Amino acid sequence: MKAQEKKFSKYHYLYTRKIKRDKAITVILQVFILVLFLGLWELLAYLNVIDSFVTSCPSKIVKTIGVLITENNLFYHMGITLYETIMGFLIAVFLGYVIALILWWSERARKVLEPYIVVLNSLPKIALGPIIIVWFGSGSKAIIFMAILIGIIVAIITMLNGFLATDKEKILLLKSMGANKFQILSKLVVPGSFPTFISMLKISVGMAWIGSIMGEYLVSRAGLGYLIVYGGQVFKLDLVMAATVVLCMLATVMYLIVAMLEKCIIKYKN
Amino acid sequence: MNTLLEFKNVSLTYQTYTDEITAIDDLSFSIDRGEFVSFIGPSGCGKTTILSLVAGLIKPTSGKIILGGREIQKPDGNLGYMLQKDQLFPWRTIEKNVILPLEILRKNTSKNREYANDLLDKYGLKNFKKYYPDQLSGGMRQRVALIRTMVYRPDLLLLDEPFSALDYQTRLQVCDDVYKIIKAENKTAILVTHDITEAISMSDKIIVLTSRPASLMAIHKPHIIGDTPIKKRESEEFSGWFEKIWKELN
């Protein structure tokens, strides 16, 4: 309101111009790196300096994606992987949050379960692959379970740390008003740990992707991870690269959605 | 009887794994309704512990603490606690921060909300109700924190060095504000401080404590002329009292 009426000196103009210019240079450099990388890759493959049978090249990747869409039902594979990832993400986040709440609530539970959580956290979950296959078969169920397994421990630890970081003096204040434990939780601990919740979501998105692709590597008949492994086995590097590119795009979109969600909520709150 | 709070031979011993620390040793005093009482003593002597006892957050090892005729069992919303930092919740507006105790005590009625609203209006926060705490200055935030302790009409206010996080200029001003508000609303208040001038300028009664374990060293009633802490600081008797308490503390 007031900012519009205010007359700025030329130094302000210079200052904002510098900021805009810095921003533009950053974007230009980012695009430049991408173009340079793809161009060099394509050129070297074209000149037969590198063997495009082993390294593939951008034009072949694009062609392969086209073929995948028209002949191999790419969207079906994307859908499968997306479904597994989102289910793994949602369940890991939900269970992680609830378990972290329980651990915050009960100091006894926290102390008793601590060594188990430490062991589970350090265990490479992929080692449980064979067990998961035996238990859940070779469908989406096994892969979702893998995604949950990989995501949940980090979700619990992140959230619990957020809950425990609640300002002691604020707890004291609520106690002096006569607040019970549930009120401390609902009025202070949960809203106060909201930023932690958002960062936990961001971490969990990444974890869910690791879980679902890893799961598909181990055991699957469909999905992007399946395409990548299959492509590797029959030495079709074009397929491997094409599936990886699609995966990259999906993962970025999902991360952006979470980031946007964060912005929306913060805006709504203010 | 006009006595609001009474300590009868209160002692408190902390337990740690390797040690046993006596924080308070046989402390007795009483506070009347409407009085403003300061506790002053060497740092680490257990001043804050006294407030925790009054709030019912910890129990004395021996002795009795009687508030309004009843022995204190646990926090029951009969007193307001104000801490060094304002401890406003950053995700709540000023208005919502102030009614937090009403929500906790399940007294969130329209009548009580109106009272909270009136207090905000009365003490210069009328235009800031929809603001968030980080949009306000430190002094204003402490005023909000004080109003938050009063919305549920507690018998007693506990002030734990509420000015020490403020810079000197603001501190004098907020000190004045808080004093005026407490007197205007006719509240009983206990202030814990290590600032002798603050204690002298605000209090009807000053209780000087020994170093740990805290016990009673002296009780003073400086009847200094002046309506407000800043006026009292200008009076002639002020430095006399300062010297006297300074000597006792050293």
Decide: A88 and A147 in contact? Cβ < 8 Å: yes
Mean pLDDT of A190-216: 91
| B87/A170 touch (CB, cutoff 8 Å), yes or no | yes
Confidence band, pLDDT 50/70/90 cuts, at residue A1: very low
Both tokens assigned to A98: 């609830």
Decide: B6 and B66 in contact? Cβ < 8 Å: yes
* A179 in contact with B, Cβ within 8 Å: yes
Q: Is the pLDDT score of A45 beyond 60?
A: yes
Decide: A195 and A166 in contact? Cβ < 8 Å: no
Mean pLDDT of B66-90: 85
Collapsing DSSP to helix, strand or coil, B93 comes out as: coil
Decide: A125 and A150 in contact? Cβ < 8 Å: yes
* B132 in contact with A, Cβ within 8 Å: yes
Q: What does pLDDT average to over chain A?
A: 89
| A176/B55 touch (CB, cutoff 8 Å), yes or no | yes
Domain positions in chain A: 2-50, 56-269
Residues 6+ away with beta carbon under 8 Å from B210: B41, B42, B45, B216, B217
Mean pLDDT of A190-210: 91
Decide: B109 and B173 in contact? Cβ < 8 Å: no
* B106 in contact with A, Cβ within 8 Å: no
The pLDDT of residue A196: 92
Q: Is the pLDDT score of B145 beyond 70?
A: yes
The pTM of this model reads 0.84
Strands B156-160 and B3-15: unpaired
The pLDDT of residue B1: 53
Q: Is the pLDDT score of B43 beyond 80?
A: no
* A194 in contact with B, Cβ within 8 Å: yes
Mean pLDDT of A223-237: 90
Question: Residue B20 pairs with which residues in a beta bridge?
Answer: B15
Q: Is the pLDDT score of A63 beyond 50?
A: yes
Q: Is the pLDDT score of B189 beyond 50?
A: yes
Collapsing DSSP to helix, strand or coil, B20 comes out as: strand
The pLDDT of residue A2: 45
- Rounded to a whole number of angstroms, the distance from the CA of A8 to the nearest CA of chain B is 24
ipTM: 0.87
Assign domain A56-269 to a CATH class: mainly alpha
